[in-house]
A and B are shown apart, each in its own frame.
Chain A
Amino acid sequence: MSILLKKALKLSIVPAVLMIAGKFIGVIALIIAYNLNFEVGNELNGIFSTQIFLADESSTLFVNSISDMAMLIILGIPTLYMIVRTTILQSATENPRTIAKVVKFNMLKWVTSSNSTFLQIFIWTSFLLISSVITISNSLQGDSYTWVGITGGVLTLLSIWGLIKTFEIETDKVYPNSNNHSYY
């Protein structure tokens, strides 16, 4: 088995678990916090037929929206953190002004090494993308607030932009940008 596949499997477990946990904890926490009347049934004929039923439409809309938001935040924050850290680290190695800024904000320790690889950022972004697609589709169908769908869209755009940036950084390591050097 290839190392890449092994690593991809290892790295996918945490975001997969967090995605389910974010939605599930969001739903359960809201039901408990607002003391909502709910029922768990299995009346649908799907792959997983178990469903959570709520008594009225406004509660359903509220619980669905906020739990979608919780899922997006749980996946979005670590993804953006990894992207920002990798980008700052790379910028710091190339640009002395960035190092000066990093020192000024006392963040030198934070960016001295990057534990995030492109594969890790790619996997986390993929999960964030899936979550955003679900959230946007819910918003379009009227099952979730519009602002949740918009937030999902913005987060996805930001993380895709970050992913491309990280990809550029990685390719620059293999094929250094010729414009920055005077080899010729």
Chain B
Amino acid sequence: MAPINKKRKFKEVFGKIIEPVALGLLALLFIIPTITVINLEPITKNLKEFTDILGVTTSNQVLVDLVGGTHEIVTSEKIYREENGSYIYNAKLTKRGADFYSKPILVLDNRSEEDKEISFSGGTLNPTRTEIGLIINDQTYRLQRSTGESYTVDILLRPQTKYEVYLTVESAVGIQFSEDFEMKIAAE
């Protein structure tokens, strides 16, 4: 009789111990598929086969790639190439407090043997007292003033060099809504 009681007691204690683990497992059964499905969403990116055309003397020899990753205010980043060879970078700037934010957004890769002039132009649709700029090779450039006035940024890309482009966002006041940011990147 005693061993049966012992067995039952062990089962009861074991059941109590395992219950939180089982609850965690149940939660994981919901969380893992959710993260996996979000992660399985395809992303647009300039694939090697698509842009890597070394040896052809055109502006296409400059590769523009998305850095990606997650950021506090720069979300839903996308890049695509237009028919004329220029690139369009899109992102959503979410609501934010009055602060300075920066994020690496693009990698420029000049695979040609000659200098390439790259121009950046764009900004948000409406002025929101936000200064938008770029940092390329430790140099800062202004893309859009807080009044909404846009500038074109021109840089020279040396042959066989790779630069990382940072997007900087400096809001003088807190912004309570998301806004779309669009930038055109053209290589000559």
Instruction: Give me the interface of A with B, judged by CB distance under 8 Å.
Output: 1-2, 5-6, 8-9, 12-13, 16-17, 19-20, 23-24, 27, 37-39, 41, 43-48, 50-57, 59-60, 63-64, 67, 71, 126-127, 130-131, 134, 138, 141-143
Contacts and interface: CB of A to CB of B under 8 A. Distances in A.
Contact of B30 (A16, A17, A52): A16
A130 B30 contact: yes
B69 A52 contact: no
Interface residues on B, range: 35 or more
B43 A6 contact: no
18 contacts: A1-B18, A1-B19, A8-B26, A12-B26, A24-B40, A38-B42, A39-B48, A43-B68, A47-B35, A48-B36, A53-B44, A54-B42, A64-B41, A67-B40, A130-B34, A134-B37, A134-B38, A142-B76
B174 interface: no
Closest 7 pairs between A and B when the two form their complex, measured CB to CB? A53-B45, A12-B29, A19-B33, A52-B42, A57-B80, A60-B44, A55-B50
- The prevalent SS among residues of B at the interface is helix
Contacts of A6: 22
A59 B78 CA distance: 13
A51 B32 contact: no
Contacts of A44: 68-70
Contacts of B2: none
Nearest to B76: A141
Contacts of B45: 39, 41, 53-55
B4 interface: no
Contacts of A45: 69-70
B56 interface: no
A52 B40 contact: yes
B70 A46 contact: yes
B25 interface: yes
Given A52-B40, A143-B76, 7 more contacts: A20-B33, A24-B40, A52-B43, A53-B43, A54-B44, A127-B30, A134-B34
A72 to B, nearest CB: 11
Contacts of B44: 53-57, 59-60
Interface in B69-101: 69-70, 76, 78, 80-81, 92
A37 B50 CA distance: 8
B43 A9 contact: no
Contacts of A50: 39
Given A45-B69, A64-B42, A53 B47 contact: yes
Contact of A27 (B30, B34, B40): B40
Nearest to A67: B40
Contacts of A17: 33
A131 B37 contact: yes
A39 to B, nearest CB: 5
A9 B25 contact: yes
Nearest to A53: B45
Contacts of A38: 42, 47
A181 B88 CA distance: 69
Contacts of A19: 33, 37
A123 B19 CA distance: 19
Interface string B13-24: 001001100110
Given A19-B37, A27-B40, A134-B34, A9 B46 contact: no
Contact of A71 (B32, B37, B81): B37
Contacts of B81: 56
